[in-house]
Amino acid sequence: MSLTRRDFARSTAVTGAGVVLAGSVGALATAPQALAATDLDGAEDAHGHPGIGYGPLVPDPDGVLALPAGFSYRVVTYSGRTRLESGESTPSNHDGTAAFAGPRGAVLLVNNHELKGPRADWEHPVPLTEGLVYDPAAAGGCTVVEVRRDQVAEWVGIAGTSTNCAGGSTPWGTWLTCEETEDRAGQNGMTKDHGYVFEVDPADRRANRAPKPLKALGRYAHEAVVVDPKRGHLFLTEDASGPNGLFYRWSPPEGFHHGRGRLRTLADDAGVLQAFRCFDSGGRFVDDLSRATRTGTVYGVDWVDVPDRDARTVPVRKQFADGQVTRARKLEGMWWGDGGVYVVSSYAREESPVQHDGQVWFYDPRRRTLTLKVLLGTGGTLDGPDNITVSPYGGLVIAEDGEGAQHLFGATDSGRTYPIARNELNIGTEAAPEYSEFTGVTFSPDGRTLFANIQQPGIMLAITGPWKRQRRG
C-alpha cells in the first residue's frame, strides 16, 4: 500500500518535523565543521559534564593508526604479507565487512575485496578456489577470516566476482556481497554479466560452492544491502552517476521464508524490485536527496516498480523518466538499526541540485518516512561518509572516504561527532601524502572489538579499548 501525500501531510502535522525514536539513535544531526575542538579533546561541556568521545588521537609510532589514549589495534590481515590457508596472499582492496559469532568463541568476518576488471590488473586478486568461482576472468570476491585470541585463519568465500563493495549481513547469519559494476560479458575482459548480489555463508564452506547471482535483486552498480527482519524486505543502494543512483526495495514473493541459502532458490524474476520516490510534507515531489539542506528534514516515501531489473538493454536507473523517482549521488553504506535503515549519501557535487560533503538518512519502514540525520556541509572538517555501523555504545560509527586525512568517527544521538581513529599509513609520497579510505567498520558480536579496514593496500584492523556509552551530547 502506498503512502499518499495526504497521509504524509497529516502525519507530519501531528508529529512535527522530526521523527523521535525512544532509546534509539533518534534525532542524530550534525552541522558543517562538526568535528570541533571540544569534540576532539573530550573537554567538559558548558555544564561541567565530561565531553563525548575518547579524547585526542595519539600518533602511532608505527605509522598505521592513530587512536585515543588507552586504545590499541591489532593487524588481522595485510595484503601481500599475510596468507590464506591455501598459501596465497591475502587479496587487496578490503571493503565491506561483517562479523559473526563463530565456533568456540571465535569471530568470523566476511571481507569484500573491491577489485574491478580483469585479474591481470591486480597483484593480489582473490584466488580462484575450485568450486567457488563465478567468472574466472574477474579479480574480486570475498574472504572469510576466523579470529581467535592468538590465531587468525583466512580462506576464500567466493571468487570471480567484480568490484565487491559494501554488501550487508543477514539475520540468518550470512553475508550478501554486492558488485558495484555494470560490466557485461565481453566488457573489461569479463566472461559473464556482472552487477549482482551473491550470498556467502561464513560458517558453511560447502554452501558457497557453485556461486549463483541473486538476479531477483537486480543488476546495477550495487553498493550495500540490508534486511528488514520483520517484513522480509531487502533494501539496496546504488552508487552511480549520469544520472544519479537509486535506493531500492525488494519485496519477497508471497509465502517465501528467509533462511540460509533460501535466496539462491528464487527465480530470477521472483518478488518485486522497486525504486523510491520521495515527496515533502506539502506533497511536492523531491527529485534528489541533495535538496535537503537541514537535518530533521522528513520526506514521505512511495515505491515504483522497476521495469527491467536485469537491465538487458538499459541500465535500471535510466529506465525512469524525470519526475518518476528520487535520485542521490554516491548512495553508499547502510546498516539496520532502531527498527529501520541508516543509509549514506557520501557527497553531492555539480551533478546534483545542491552540493554537500555527506548525508546520513534514516528510513522508517513502518512510517514510510525518510529523515535526514547527518549533514556535512562543504568545506567542513569531515567529508565523504561511506561505510557505517550502529554502535552498541550509542549513535553511529562512520568510515570516512573523503579528501586528505581519513577518520573513523562517531556521531552521538544528539549529533555531535568525535574521532575514533585516523589513518596514518601514507601510500603517497612525503611531498604529496595520500591516505586511503576506511572501510568495513563493524563491531564484534560481543561489542568489545571494532573491526575496520584501510582499503589500500588492504589491511584489516581490530581496535580495542575502554569503550563507553556516549552521552547524547
HEC sequence for 209-252: CCCCCCHHHCCCEEEEEEECCCCCCEEEEECCCCCCECEEEEEC
Candidates 270, 283, 273; CA nearest to 247 is 273
Q: Predicted confidence band at 472 (pLDDT cuts at 50, 70, 90)?
A: low
Candidates 260, 263, 64; CA nearest to 171 is 260
The DSSP string of 308-364 is -TT-SSS-GGGGS-TTTS-BBTTEEEEEEETTEEEEEE--B-TTSSS-BS-EEEEEE
For the stretch 244-261, pLDDT in tens is 999 999 999 999 999 999
Confidence (pLDDT) at 50: 59
* Residue 374 grid cell: 547527518
Decide if pLDDT at 51 tops 80.
Answer: no
Instruction: Provide the strand spans (E) within 258-297.
Output: 272-279, 285-286
Confidence (pLDDT) at 32: 32
Decide if pLDDT at 15 tops 90.
Answer: no
Beta bridge partners of 414: none
Confidence (pLDDT) at 26: 31
Distance CA(379)–CA(293), nearest Å, equals: 15
Look up residue 128 and give its amino acid.
L
Beta bridge partners of 408: 399, 421
Q: Predicted confidence band at 224 (pLDDT cuts at 50, 70, 90)?
A: very high
* Residue 363 grid cell: 528510513
Instruction: Provide the strand spans (E) within 65-209.
Output: 65-68, 72-78, 94-101, 107-113, 140-147, 152-161, 168-169, 175-178, 197-200
DSSP secondary structure code for residue 288 in this structure: B
DSSP secondary structure code for residue 262 in this structure: T
Confidence (pLDDT) at 378: 74
Contact 90, 142 (CB under 8 A): no
60: enclosing H helix or E strand: none
For the stretch 294-337, pLDDT in tens is 989 999 999 999 999 999 999 999 999 999 999 998 899 999 99
R_g of the chain, CA atoms, integer Å: 21
What value does the mean pLDDT of the chain take?
Answer: 88
Look up residue 228 and give its amino acid.
D
CA 298 to chain centre: 22
Q: Predicted confidence band at 350 (pLDDT cuts at 50, 70, 90)?
A: confident
Distance CA(250)–CA(347), nearest Å, equals: 25
Distance CA(258)–CA(449), nearest Å, equals: 29
Confidence (pLDDT) at 415: 66
Confidence (pLDDT) at 6: 40
Residues 6+ apart with CB under 8 A from 217: 196, 197, 225, 234, 236, 250, 273, 309
Q: Is 233 left (phi over 0), alpha (psi -120 to 50) or beta?
A: beta
Contact 200, 144 (CB under 8 A): yes
Contact 382, 357 (CB under 8 A): yes
Decide if pLDDT at 2 tops 50.
Answer: no
Distance CA(365)–CA(117), nearest Å, equals: 36
Q: Which of 63-72, 163-172, 403-412 has the lowest mean pLDDT?
A: 403-412
Q: Predicted confidence band at 19 (pLDDT cuts at 50, 70, 90)?
A: very low
Q: Does residue 243 have a cis bond before it (omega within 30 degrees)?
A: yes
Confidence (pLDDT) at 33: 31
> Cell 554488501, residue?
167
Decide if pLDDT at 407 tops 50.
Answer: yes
Q: Does residue 457 have a cis bond before it (omega within 30 degrees)?
A: yes
For the stretch 25-38, pLDDT in tens is 333 333 333 333 23
Q: Predicted confidence band at 473 (pLDDT cuts at 50, 70, 90)?
A: low
Decide if pLDDT at 157 tops 60.
Answer: yes
Contact 60, 68 (CB under 8 A): no
In this structure, which long-range contacts are made by residues 205-208, counting pairs with CB atoms below 8 Å and at least 24 apart in sequence?
205/155, 207/260, 207/261, 208/132, 208/157, 208/158
For the stretch 426-438, pLDDT in tens is 999 999 999 999 9
Decide if pLDDT at 41 tops 60.
Answer: no
Decide if pLDDT at 270 tops 90.
Answer: yes
Distance CA(250)–CA(343), nearest Å, equals: 16
